[in-house]
Amino acid sequence: MQNSLLSSPSTLNNHVIYCINPHCKQRQNLDELECCQTCGTPLLIHDRYRLIQPLRRLDSRKYTDIFEVDDQGTGKVMKVLRDNHSKLVELLEREALTLELLNHPGIPKVESDGYFTVSVNSTTELHCLVLERIEGQNLEAWAKQYGEISQALALNWLRQILEILEYLHQNQFFHRDIKPSNIILKPDGRLVLIDFGSVREITGTYLAKLRGDIELTKIISEGYTAPEQRQGRCLPQSDFYALGRTLVHLLTNKPPSCLPINHNTGQLIWQDKAPQISKPLAEFIDDLMADAVVNRPQDVKAIAQGLTHVSLWLRGLGCWVRSPKGIATIITLGMMGVGVYHISQPWRFQYYFKQGREDLMELRLEQARINLERAVKINPNDATARSDLGLACKYQEDLQCAKKQFNQALKLNPDAEIAATIHYNLGMLYEDDEKFDQALAEYKRAMGHNGYISIYATNNFARLQIWQKRNYEVAVNLLLKVLQQIETLDLNETEKNNLQSGLYKNLGWAHLEQNRDQDAEKYLQKAIKLDNKQAAPHCLLAQVWQNQVDEKKALISWKNCRKAESRGLPEVQVWQTDALDYLNAQ
């Protein structure tokens, strides 16, 4: 039901109200009347509701009419079932009971007396459900208006829907009909999941399947419904499949049913239609949509862990983290040190330490943390184990644990490379907390080491100088110096291009802030040439074109800004919002 909870922004109409009788030939009436002037049906429903306006076109082919109603001065939404088929009545009753039991800001509320029946004549009984009115626009309509969403917005919306699903699944329900038209975007940016007529109890579904004596109602939404659900075997993981398909629709602005299928693998072919997102996120969405249930995440917790893995790519070092050199530095690999530990530490420490490190390298974060906590418990004076544990906590977004372990590792006087890595990670943690003075101090400490971490720390230090409008010249000098150092490092072409692109972007940004548009354009174009998927240089170049009053070029750059990867940087997410505002104004 596409707009079942979507109310128009208009206020209540003081002149016309509607008759509830679906067979009435003229349903509009003056609000001063007590009964319909055409069929005689009372216009005050259930002694409290007056039908103000339909929220979608009244259509005899649809099973349900949906109205905005006035409940004694409060605006609400009423569903009125036109057809009393037992299955349809069951769905409406189930929706009423479910919403009455649940209490979550992402789920519409229903009062205990929100479900009732109304007799309009001697032969017709209408089943009605009154729900909380949700102001906003469903995501299907939103996508038609604004086009495909950015990576940052996809992650934002994904996390919001997962929070609702976690609550739903914990209460032993699953939705069975997730799709863009069943998700409302409120004016404050929060999402609400609607249309709970298809919801099922998890336990009830399993029992029914085992007994084989109940034919479960099949809910089919073309392009979104999981294969097992089409066969009448719906599971909680069916919601994940539909969620993945929903994300594909929003990222490509194309319904999944309009996209091709790889007939060898059964996978949806869509990634080429969403160039604005990174490969890890695209693969993560493919996992949600796996045909076989066993190949999907098994619960919301597993999805959240997968999102943490994706965030590792999107925030911080990008592709470098996955390279052998990147992994070696960021996880503080030091095989010589491992050899020393093997000789001098008890075998139990060595076992848990090595196993935890392997888990960390493979991003098995929960198991990595368990094994590294065991290693630290055995030998609390090992700086490398504490550093690795801090990293595991960081990737799990347990910032308090991460800071504690990093700071304790520093107190143990680690070698220069490990210390620089710890300072760099602390800088990122403080930046996430918006403690920018502390972040700058930590980045500066990491800059003292001659290695890969020093370059990334310098880039972040310069970026903060620009973002916080502190010292543009310091930023420029540092970035130019680091660009010269890159040539001395043993980097492959991809690593080198990604790093140089980020440095050129920040150089362009610094010059833009100093009103040096010509220099800003030069460096930003270099950044885009090296890495066209990064949103930041496109966003900054759009601002350069606007300064030069070149609206044609500005429009192209703002479009690229909105579609490209934000890499999780907060300033870029702000620019992408600016891009949306600019494009909407055109």
Positions annotated as catalytic residues are 177
Helix 347-361 and helix 335-344, axial crossing angle in degrees, nearest 10: 150
Instruction: Give the amino acid at 399.
Output: L
Contact between 154 and 281 under an 8 Å Cβ cutoff? The reply is: yes
Alpha helices in 295-415 (DSSP H): 300-314, 319-322, 324-330, 335-344, 347-361, 365-378, 383-395, 399-411
What DSSP string describes 361-375?
A: HTT-HHHHHHHHHHH
Burial of 412 (0-12, 13-18, 19+ CB in 10 A): middle
Q: Is 135 helix (H, G, I), strand (E, B) or coil?
A: strand
Contact between 469 and 510 under an 8 Å Cβ cutoff? The reply is: no
φ, ψ dihedrals at 6, nearest 5°: -95, 115
Would you state the structure tokens that stand for residue 111, as one six-digit string? 């009062």
φ, ψ dihedrals at 118, nearest 5°: -130, 130
What DSSP string describes 403-444?
A: HHHHHHHHHT---HHHHHHHHHHHHHHHHHTT-HHHHHHHHH
Angle at 498 between CA 492 and CA 504, to 5 degrees: 125
Location of structure tokens 């999780």: 568
Please state, in angstroms and rounded to a whole number, the distance separating the CA atoms of residues 485 and 16.
Answer: 74
Expressed in angstroms, the distance from the first to the final Cα of the chain is: 32
Contact between 4 and 195 under an 8 Å Cβ cutoff? The reply is: yes
Residue 196's nearest CA partner among 174, 211, 166, 216 is: 174
- Cα dihedral 529, 530, 531, 535 sign: negative
For residue 490, what are the contacts with CB-CB under 8 A and spacing of at least 6?
325
DSSP symbol at 259 = S
What DSSP string describes 157-171?
A: HHHHHHHHHHHHHHT
Please state, in angstroms and rounded to a whole number, the distance separating the CA atoms of residues 121 and 40.
Answer: 9
